[in-house]
């Protein structure tokens, strides 16, 4: 993998950067296997247990601002007492060949994209990706952080808080993990759609028709959801055909 961190902050219009609002700790904790894998990586990254415990406390208190995610970059402000710090975490993104391989793995079995959009990360998808040389889930040594505080440890308690809350996002939506690795939701859908539509009039191999159907349904769902959010934010009524 290559490290290509996003440098723009929230609201700067950087392509692919998405800012998630302030988070509340999930009542049931981390439930998914991939969310737990992310949290294990955070634990591996921590140098001392004291900082890890402090990071958990900061995260659970809701003292992390909106987390802005772009390819290879997590950016957030963290409040602690009367002070506020800026944290940026860098995560290696997929190289172009790895990106193409991951798309092939997703496309290899009908239903995988639908599962991802439904908030599920099939275990066999990750296994097949690893067998093909693509590491989707990070390990502790890959999580490099910078913070404006004066702590010399990397990651500090503020960066750990950001990583812990990012784990909540990953737990709820595995495509956040894809976005961190450099393949956001819209790019994944677009490349799968292009793949399924390729070949002109030639007969499609077995399974490709199912993939095309999955991608069409997924793309339509994304467009509908985006339109619903726009209407709700504008305070407009919701058309019957859109829900």
Task: Return the number of other C-beta atoms located less than 10 Å from residue 240's C-beta.
Answer: 6
pLDDT at residue 225, rounded to an integer: 52
- Mean predicted confidence (pLDDT) in 82-94: 95
pLDDT at residue 107, rounded to an integer: 94
Residue 234's pLDDT band (cuts 50, 70, 90):
low
- Mean predicted confidence (pLDDT) in 90-108: 95
Going from N- to C-terminal start, the domains of the chain cover: 18-185
> For the packed helices 157-172 and 49-60, what is the interaxial angle rounded to 10 degrees?
60
Residue 196's pLDDT band (cuts 50, 70, 90):
confident
- Segment 33-64, tens digit of pLDDT: 999 999 999 999 999 999 999 999 999 999 99
Say whether pLDDT at 204 is over 60.
no
């Amino acid at each position: 993998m290559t490290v290509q961190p996003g440098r723009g902050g929230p609201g700067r219009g950087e392509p692919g950067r998405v800012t998630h609002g302030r988070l509340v700790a999930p009542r049931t904790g981390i439930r998914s296997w991939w969310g737990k894998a992310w949290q294990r990586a955070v634990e591996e990254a921590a140098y001392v247990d004291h900082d890890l415990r402090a990071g958990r406390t900061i995260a659970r208190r809701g003292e992390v601002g909106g987390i802005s995610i772009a390819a290879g970059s997590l950016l957030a402000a963290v409040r602690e007492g009367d002070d506020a710090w800026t944290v940026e975490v860098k995560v290696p993104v997929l190289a172009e060949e790895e990106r193409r391989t991951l798309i092939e793995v997703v496309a290899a079995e009908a239903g995988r994209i639908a599962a991802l959009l439904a908030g599920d990360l099939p275990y066999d998808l990750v296994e097949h990706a690893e067998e093909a040389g693509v590491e989707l889930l990070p390990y502790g040594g890959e999580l490099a952080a910078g913070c404006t505080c004066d702590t010399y440890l990397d990651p500090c308690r503020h960066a750990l808080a950001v990583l812990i809350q990012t784990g909540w996002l990953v737990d709820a939506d595995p495509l956040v993990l894809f976005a961190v690795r450099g393949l956001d939701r819209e790019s994944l859908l677009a490349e799968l759609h292009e793949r399924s539509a390729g070949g002109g009039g030639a007969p499609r191999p077995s399974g490709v028709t199912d993939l095309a159907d999955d991608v069409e349904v997924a793309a339509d769902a994304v467009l509908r959801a985006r339109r619903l959010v726009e209407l709700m934010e504008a305070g407009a009524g919701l058309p019957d055909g859109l829900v």
